Structure 1
Amino acid sequence: MLEQETRREKDAPLRYDIRTLGDALGQAIKRYGGYTVFDTVERLRISCKRLRECADLLAHASDTEAQRLHAEIHELNQEITHIVATCDLGTAVDVIRAFTVYFHLVNTAEQYHRIRRRQVYEETPDHTPQRGSLAALIAFFKEQQLSQETLQQLLDSLAIELVFTAHPTEATRRSLITKTSRIAGLLEDRDHGKIKTPRQQKSWQHNLEGTIDLLWRTDAVRRVRPQPIDEIKMGIYYLDEVLYQALPDLYAEFEDLLHEVYPQAQVPPFLRLGSWIGGDQDGNPFVGPETMHTALRLQREHIINHYRDTIELLAQEYSQSLSHTRITPELQEAIERDELLLPQYDQELGPQTALEPYRRKLSFIWKRLGATITPPSSTEPYTQTFAPQSRQKARPSIAFSSAEELLTELRLIQDSLLADGETELARGYLAHLIRQVELFGFYFVALDVRQHSARHANAVAELLQLTGLCQEDYHTLDEPARLRILEKLLQDPRVLTRPGLKLSDDTWHIIHTFQAIRQARDEYGKRAVSCYIISMSNSLSDLLEVQFFCKEFGLDDLPIVPLFETIEDLHNCTDILDQAFTHPVYSVYLANCQRQQQVMLGYSDSSKDGGILTSSWELYEAQLRLAALGRKHSIGITMFHGRGGAIGRGGGPIYEAVLGQPPGTINGHIRITEQGEMLSFKYGLYEIAIRNMELVAAGVARASIPDERIIEKYVHPHAPEEWRDVMRELSSKAHARYRDLIYNDPAFITFFEQATPVSELGWLNIGSRPARRAKNRAIEELRAIPWVFSWMQSRYVLPSWYGVGGALEEYIADHPERLELLRHMYRHWPFLGAFLDNLQMTLSKADMHIAQRYTSLVEDPVLRQRISQQIQEEYERTRKLVISIVGGENLLDTSRVLQESIKRRNPYVDPLSYFQVELIQRLRALGGPLMLRKDEEETATEQDLERARLTSAVLLTINGIAAGLRNTG
């Protein structure tokens, strides 16, 4: 009881914020939607809330009370169904919009409350540092008496990269993101006592209501599908608005905290950002070499303009005169070089700056950066007439040749300030700028390029046929024969990809991509394009094909990253890499890459392929084998985790996920994807971005301490072989159950297509990439994002739990004592603890009562009954067994904050689900989704107009449910 009271007290500001925002929204609905809409919203809200209360009471009711509650539940269901069914479409759309905007406001309030709680931790005297914080990490170092030498060894070993993806971009539009950010700022102003006078309070209220009014009148759904350029600009938005300041600020905070305990510690740039936005070509026909260059060009413009703005401010600030200050000879020489390099600009600066050396030097840097913004390469499109090496034009002589040259100049200023005793100036904004240049270079964020393995094989086959180097069809050759041919190609000094070849567009696309990578690395620096990822890697020839194209364009040190995505590929990945590491040609490549190998692990596709339990376990075992393989060959292996978003795609709390990785598999090096649909949630606000990045940094640092004693005791306790045997058995059983339903039941695809909005989802403009790899109906060809998204919408959330309950039940059935073993494993094994806690969360978001409404969309009643019953029974098994292992009476009793958040949201998500089922039923009866352009509406039939209106309404419900459940794909 005391714990509940303390929690309610902590959450009181959050509840107050939600009421304030909800009241303002209610006024906006009355003003613009009318009282009919407002009344409908209230009736649905009250009825759905009471329906939830009755369902909760039912679990502990007596027989008599249960009978009464069943009757009330039936009556409430009928009432809600009647309200939804009798709503005219215009009112329905506004009601859906009302609940959707409400969720955007609640999400904002909850995000800001996270910021508030973090500040409370920091402000409380003698506080216990927040879990996963940098302060907690350093307290742990101190508690373990980590020496200065060991600490520095750890810092120098760290290499962490968070990589933004673009699929999907955002279910939430940027217009909504900027407005909700403004609301978070208003809540912060009130919290920090900036609203003191009645006039200020009145102005604050007007600003809040005005912003919510704008939210109400803004389209929640994009009318057109975003193009890659839109996705690129969206990524730059987060870099510009948040991360340009947040990432270096995180370093500054870390340095300040460290120096309290380790005054000599040096913090290298160990945490960086990467991106797939503009470089991910896999399955996206709209992304190509031009897209990559567009992304890098725009990023370059933005980052250099940021530097120029900061340098302009520093130049205004650094007004020291030679009459009162001394500069180093090195800085004086640099200024004299600039005078010779920029004689005309030197005259423009005037005689006064001759007496102000720091201002003068910064002005020269500012001018040179202006000439550096535009790269010197040709802007002509890629054609078949190209040189194997990148085309170069002479760069303007005043431009910086690299970010390293800029860093040298800035450090000359810093060294001079330090030599003259200006310590505070040297460590203030100037040090901040130096850190930004270290982190962002001239490219802002490094790009990865990704392509499907089959595309490389097709290109090689066509080249071999056209040049006559292979008399057989490359596609028909077995793996040994392919390897023999590739080995010859890689040792042949000749360039095959010469101009004038009559190749298909697909093959030219591959060739031009490698040409563009070479050009980009020449222009922006080698780190600008950080690696080349091969999706669906399943053989050594997949790697050597890419190595061949790298050879053709002088990219001998471009990291080649195989992506292993299916269960079978995870099984085979170490065999493939063992073969690669001993291959004479690939070994040369590894030497060029300092014997470092990245390996990407696919969470989404492996989960879709084998189920969540099998995927999680196979990923765990694959990492252990890969780490052992790296040690065997003395090769540093960096795991690249393709995770994030929903639990079915490897999402979940990142700190626990990092600590749950197998021992010996991180060693300071890790790359992790940040999925596009989570960017606004994790990086939309400055303080939230800081928190997310520190969770990763703290987790990786804690898991990488170079002291086996500490790791074994506090981070990765040894998992006995018995525990691993348990997981192997559970994985096998769960895999069989999952495959039986999803892939071995021929009728399942029909159930899936009819009982979820997967067909309608394809019309939601949340990303530029098509939903399927191919045009057939097979589940294998459906991408993991719409697969997970569709089940989330229908509230089954099936990919995140199916098969687990049956496996647990079968494992325990004849051996009840095994339940206690599982409880012990949950408490003492971070891997299983994180897995079952994520399972609790996803089971809580699932709702079989709502899911049952979606089964009414299945046309065949026998199919509907058979599969829905099978799913419901498995859900109930999983729910009961997870609770019995983790403890408590209900799901998430071990995580009350999350439990309350889900309970708070469910009554407001439910009306959207009722509307979605009703509207999909109407839409499919008319022939399915249809979107009309403005010019098409005038000549469209009444039925087509109705289809288009219904399509828009369904898409609104999809957007609203995604906002309510805070997960999309």
Structure 2
Amino acid sequence: MPDIGPFDFGSVEPDELDKDTERLRHILLESVKVLEKDGDRLINLVESILLKDQPSERDPVSMEQYKQKISSLSNADALSISRILSQCLNLANVAEQHHLVRSVLKANLAGEDLMYSCEHTLKSLIDEGISPDTIYNAICEQSIELVLTAHPTQMMRRTLIAKNNAIGNALSELEKQLTDYERFEWEEELNREVKATWLTDEIRRKKPTPEEEAQGGWSILEQNLWHTLPRFFRILDRTVEKYTGRSLPLGFTNIRFGSWCGGDRDGNDNVTADVTRQVCYFSRWIAATLFYREIDALLFELSMVKKTDSMADAALAANERRQSNKPKSILTLYKEFREGIPEKEAYRIVLAEVRDKMLLTKKKYEDLISGQTPCPDDVCYETAEEVIAPLKMCYDSLVAIGGKAIADGRLLDIIRRLNCFGLNLSKLDIRQESSRHSETLDAITTYLGIGSYNAWSEEQRVEFLLKELESKRPLIPVDFPCNPRVQEVINTFRMAAELPKDSLGAYVISMCQKPSDILAVELLQKVVGNKHPQRVVPLFEMIDDLVRAPTTMESLFNIPWYKKRINGSQEIMLGYSDSAKDAGRLCSAWSLYKAQEILTKLSEKHGVKCNLFHGRGGTVGRGGSPTYLAIQSQPGGSINGRLRVTEQGEMITAHYGQPGMALRTIEVYTTATLKQTLLPPPAPLDKWREIMDFLADVSSKKYRSVVRDDPNFVRYFRASTPERELTHLNIGSRPAKRNVLNPTIESLRAIPWIFSFTQTRLILPAWLGVCDAFKEAINKGWQQDLVDMYKNWPFFSTTVDLIEMVLMKTDPLIALRYNDLLVPFELQSKGKELIDLLNETVNSVLSLTSHETLQQENKLLQHFVSIRRAYMDPINYIQAEILRRLRSQHVDAMDPILIDILIITINGIAAVVNSVPAFQWYSLVTNLLLHVSEVVIKFKTLLLLPDLSDNLL
């Protein structure tokens, strides 16, 4: 079999990761040989188009011949080659994720000091002079909520994600001590899963529904996080007791989960009130099912008869209720068992009642989902507190009789799960665009004959809203006639008022610009009679919105009604993706930093606890960055033990798709938040602020001059990237554009904007404007100041390092190929200008960081990037050719094979650029440079683009 993988290790010796990667690649190629009738020819063909030389070593003559070879490929061969290369990249990612978990395990077994672990962080805080009491209180008061969203960046089907997990599990089992027979079985399992992956259609053939997007989040919660959280709490508890002398409280949880899947209706008409209702019902049904299983298992475990008097009284009362009430039909199967419980087994008697009521709760949501009449509310659970009360009684009784070790088993795990997940796994946020609320109020005021709400000034709107908020009369007539858009908004608020308590989290207002936008939602919640209104969260997205945010919030804090309504706590969401699309990454990062500072101080002035909700994406261009560094680089005092952040698209699988990864992710969120709270970074010097203002201004002007002011830019963008073809991907229920009839930058959503440039390896949005900003700053004599900022200011150094990581994944030659092949001749000069600017940006960043090459200190990182390029670069050249062929055909007669090739190449490129391979995490481990002892890896040199699993080491 020919060697299709150029493994030139240079000074880096092959290690276990390389062996796993080679093993999986070998199985794949053998599978192709067996499963495809011309498998040998295909493998030889793949070998012939691999680019084994690095970009700097590729001479123009050979590259011209290479392009001709790609152009001569038949559609059928291009499809097979793309599939093989894409699978090689996917299996490399699987091997690296497995290696990551293995490395952490080895570090723990060897007693290594694992960076950002609970042990490492608490020890370092003690060494810094932080008192044990301060640490304990900070942990107990910590509140972190991770919000799973359905943003369309997860290219891979859930079926293939599951197969990847199975491959990783087989690799793990093969490293254990096994008998010959057991080893044979697991090797066969590994072969089966790789072969099954090859035979599985990697293309999503239909667009997912909002309900299906929600299912993806539930599967992560049910299969991984459900088991991970109790384990994490035990680790944290032991560490806290070791360093503070006290155990965590029984009701402790610092981690909770939210969701936008099925609730985010901003620009997505597929998300209706009925959809949101069904998603909430399904979520509570899954939670009831999981808790029923756990309580049923616990019932059999707690067979002890020794008990406290209060426990005996509770069991007696439960028995009396059982005897006085006729068993419900759903409990008939359990009647004999319950009556057979000896009266002295008080724990079982109490738990049997809890279990049966949980079963009725499960049945209630089954009925609601299927449209049948549900069980009465009084025989079901509505809140987690109702379940916790009898469980806590069992816990206290066991502790009192000397059975704390028993109580701290499954019983404690269930109590902690109830505190973490509640009875709905994750609270569902609702998000809607502000103009939809204004449109609804305008329809109401116009119908009532009191004027047009939309025509009123801001002062008139606020006056009207406050008057109605304090009024007791109904605002919406029973027979109110309105258009479907308005009716859907009203239906959503009515649905929210009818859902069980604690089903919903925040109501997020996108494109929020003024106080009336927030008050409008408060009024609409009131007029539908919502007894448990959601907290209303303004989302400030664009640069101008971020600048106006403090004025907007100050106006609200000065309103007595509003101040009373928020009860001392205000959540504010900050948009990273849209602000970066608006003015570029450098300006966006600084605007967000300043907004956090000002909003934090403003809230303190008004005696309000400010909770900032970070709407980060995965890639750097959408605000993404390695989690620990992102948290540490926030302004001091802006987190203060509270963090709410989105986990978007492919990040959900990357961070939580495997139990070991999920555990590490949760741990890093906890330790980073704790350290940022107790040891916040100092405020930047005034001179640094002045320079950052200048850099942001210059970079923003350059960015906007290219993206917004150039009348030909949109044409160039749509021609040079696969943006027009993204509709074939079926990766999300939401449309890619806000207005498909008006193809402007404003109409394009931030995700496809970044995604499209990532595919061509230009990655323009993440670096455009940076070179001009640095150049102008140096011209003003600030070169040494920039160096000082990079060395001593976490915010600036993280921002620059992330840009350097982005640049490492760019490729000017590949970007030029898209330009030459796809862009009209009259616009090709625009692409060449941008590619020249990319090269200038690389030089300017290297000058600032004093590096000769990008990521020069991380030889291990460079080694693995070179391996990936051998597979990914040919995919790029094939994609450019396929786009040319597609665009030469009539739109109604596109060859379906070409569309399949395009989707597969997009998948393959995304598998690298929209994921962070495991090798980048070596830099987060102290004393864990496996087989590369001569390499000194700075903690800042994490591989760019998304922060997929960056947490795990």
Return the TM-score normalized by structure 2: 0.91
**In the aligned structure 2, how far is the partner of 1:44 from the partner of 1:407?**
62
Mapped pair 1:580 → 2:550: no
**In the aligned structure 2, how far is the partner of 1:396 from the partner of 1:876?**
66
**In the aligned structure 2, how far is the partner of 1:122 from the partner of 1:372?**
42
**In the aligned structure 2, how far is the partner of 1:206 from the partner of 1:779?**
51
Mapped pair 1:507 → 2:510: no
Structure 1 residue 449, shift from structure 2 partner? 0.5
Which SS does the other structure have where 1:160 is aligned? strand
The 5-angstrom pairing of residues 116-195 of structure 1 reads 116-125=102-111, 127-128=112-113, 130-168=114-152, 170-193=154-177, 195=178
Aligned to 2:5: none
Structure 1 residue 400, shift from structure 2 partner? 2.6
- CA displacement, residues 928-960 of structure 1 (integer Å, 9 cap, x when unaligned): 4x6xxxxxxxxxxxxx2x533322221121111
8 Å CA contact 1:760, 1:955 repeated in 2? no
Which SS does the other structure have where 1:856 is aligned? helix
Aligned to 1:708: none
Aligned to 1:409: 390
Q: Which of residues 350, 363, 369 in structure 2 aligns to 1:361?
A: 350
Q: Which of residues 614, 621, 635 in structure 1 aligns to 2:594?
A: 621
**In the aligned structure 1, how far is the partner of 2:862 from the partner of 2:268?**
38
Q: Which of residues 328, 346, 349 in structure 1 aligns to 2:338?
A: 349
8 Å CA contact 1:887, 1:894 repeated in 2? no
Relative distance call for 1:28 and 1:631 in structure 2 (3 A) is same
**In the aligned structure 2, how far is the partner of 1:602 from the partner of 1:887?**
32
**In the aligned structure 1, how far is the partner of 2:744 from the partner of 2:161?**
36
8 Å CA contact 1:604, 1:650 repeated in 2? yes
Aligned to 1:451: 432
Structure 2: unaligned runs, 5 residues or longer: 1-7, 328-333, 916-944, 947-953
**In the aligned structure 1, how far is the partner of 2:316 from the partner of 2:790?**
67
8 Å CA contact 2:364, 2:375 repeated in 1? no
Give the AA of the match of 2:797: G
Structure 1 residue 665, shift from structure 2 partner? 0.7
Structure 1: unaligned runs, 5 residues or longer: 58-71, 383-390, 706-710, 931-943
Which SS does the other structure have where 2:156 is aligned? coil
Q: Which of residues 74, 82, 86 in structure 2 aligns to 1:96?
A: 82
Relative distance call for 1:503 and 1:847 in structure 2 (3 A) is same
Relative distance call for 1:302 and 1:249 in structure 2 (3 A) is same
- CA displacement, residues 332-360 of structure 1 (integer Å, 9 cap, x when unaligned): 22222322333345554243543433333
8 Å CA contact 1:756, 1:791 repeated in 2? yes
Q: Which of residues 907, 914, 920 in structure 1 aligns to 2:883?
A: 920
- CA displacement, residues 301-345 of structure 1 (integer Å, 9 cap, x when unaligned): 21221112122222222333xxxx411222222222322333345
Which SS does the other structure have where 2:856 is aligned? coil
Aligned to 2:898: 950
8 Å CA contact 2:513, 2:545 repeated in 1? yes
Give RMSD over aligned pairs.
2.2
**In the aligned structure 2, how far is the partner of 1:155 from the partner of 1:728?**
35
- CA displacement, residues 497-527 of structure 1 (integer Å, 9 cap, x when unaligned): 343211111111111111111222xx2x33x
8 Å CA contact 1:371, 1:396 repeated in 2? no
Aligned to 2:931: none
**In the aligned structure 1, how far is the partner of 2:859 from the partner of 2:418?**
42
Which SS does the other structure have where 1:162 is aligned? strand
Structure 1 residue 669, shift from structure 2 partner? 1.1
Aligned to 2:647: 674
**In the aligned structure 2, how far is the partner of 1:393 from the partner of 1:463?**
34
Once structures 1 and 2 are overlaid, which stretch shifts more, 617-626 or 98-107? Answer: 98-107
Aligned to 1:938: none
Structure 1 residue 378, shift from structure 2 partner? 9.2
Structure 1 residue 896, shift from structure 2 partner? 4.3
8 Å CA contact 1:754, 1:857 repeated in 2? no
**In the aligned structure 2, how far is the partner of 1:156 from the partner of 1:204?**
43
- CA displacement, residues 508-551 of structure 1 (integer Å, 9 cap, x when unaligned): 1111111111222xx2x33x211100000011111111111121
Q: Which of residues 820, 823, 833 in structure 2 aligns to 1:856?
A: 820
Structure 1 residue 859, shift from structure 2 partner? 4.2
8 Å CA contact 2:822, 2:880 repeated in 1? no
Q: How many residues end up aligned between the 2 structures?
A: 895
Structure 1 residue 565, shift from structure 2 partner? 0.6
Return the TM-score normalized by structure 1: 0.89
8 Å CA contact 2:101, 2:660 repeated in 1? yes
8 Å CA contact 2:238, 2:247 repeated in 1? no
Q: Which fold has the larger relative contact order, with Cα–Cα distance below 8 Å and residues 6 or more apart in sequence?
A: 2
Which SS does the other structure have where 1:661 is aligned? coil
- CA displacement, residues 231-289 of structure 1 (integer Å, 9 cap, x when unaligned): 01111110111111112221111111111122214252121111101110101111022
8 Å CA contact 1:803, 1:874 repeated in 2? no
**In the aligned structure 2, how far is the partner of 1:24 from the partner of 1:376?**
45
- CA displacement, residues 159-187 of structure 1 (integer Å, 9 cap, x when unaligned): 11111100116211001000000111111
**In the aligned structure 1, how far is the partner of 2:570 from the partner of 2:247?**
29
Q: Which of residues 36, 39, 42 in structure 1 aligns to 2:41?
A: 36
Structure 1 residue 689, shift from structure 2 partner? 0.9
Structure 1 residue 663, shift from structure 2 partner? 1.0
Structure 1 residue 298, shift from structure 2 partner? 1.3
**In the aligned structure 1, how far is the partner of 2:746 from the partner of 2:841?**
25
Give the AA of the match of 2:705: D
Q: Which of residues 692, 695, 715 in structure 2 aligns to 1:750?
A: 715
Aligned to 2:514: 539
Aligned to 2:808: 844
Give the AA of the match of 1:607: A
Which SS does the other structure have where 2:144 is aligned? strand
Relative distance call for 1:448 and 1:153 in structure 2 (3 A) is same
Give the AA of the match of 1:335: A
Relative distance call for 1:82 and 1:6 in structure 2 (3 A) is closer
8 Å CA contact 1:228, 1:291 repeated in 2? yes
**In the aligned structure 2, how far is the partner of 1:606 from the partner of 1:6?**
42
Structure 1 residue 584, shift from structure 2 partner? 3.3
Relative distance call for 1:755 and 1:30 in structure 2 (3 A) is same
**In the aligned structure 1, how far is the partner of 2:401 from the partner of 2:603?**
49
**In the aligned structure 2, how far is the partner of 1:652 from the partner of 1:405?**
40
**In the aligned structure 2, how far is the partner of 1:226 from the partner of 1:218?**
18
**In the aligned structure 1, how far is the partner of 2:899 from the partner of 2:526?**
50
The 5-angstrom pairing of residues 740-889 of structure 1 reads 740-775=705-740, 776-813=742-779, 815=781, 818-865=782-829, 867-889=830-852
Q: Which of residues 23, 26, 34 in structure 1 aligns to 2:26?
A: 23
Give the AA of the match of 1:39: N
Aligned to 1:647: 620
Relative distance call for 1:861 and 1:605 in structure 2 (3 A) is same
Relative distance call for 1:649 and 1:964 in structure 2 (3 A) is same
Give the AA of the match of 1:868: G
8 Å CA contact 2:815, 2:835 repeated in 1? no
Mapped pair 1:204 → 2:186: yes
**In the aligned structure 1, how far is the partner of 2:283 from the partner of 2:779?**
58
**In the aligned structure 2, how far is the partner of 1:459 from the partner of 1:378?**
33
Q: Which of residues 93, 106, 112 in structure 1 aligns to 2:98?
A: 112
Q: Which of residues 683, 687, 690 in structure 2 aligns to 1:722?
A: 687
Mapped pair 1:261 → 2:217: no
Mapped pair 1:436 → 2:417: yes
Q: Which of residues 498, 518, 521 in structure 2 aligns to 1:519?
A: 498
**In the aligned structure 2, how far is the partner of 1:648 from the partner of 1:905?**
21
**In the aligned structure 2, how far is the partner of 1:375 from the partner of 1:588?**
36
Mapped pair 1:298 → 2:282: yes
**In the aligned structure 2, how far is the partner of 1:474 from the partner of 1:420?**
66
Once structures 1 and 2 are overlaid, which stretch shifts more, 414-423 or 632-641? Answer: 414-423
Give the AA of the match of 1:218: T
Structure 1 residue 8, shift from structure 2 partner? 4.1
Aligned to 1:736: 701
**In the aligned structure 1, how far is the partner of 2:400 from the partner of 2:12?**
55
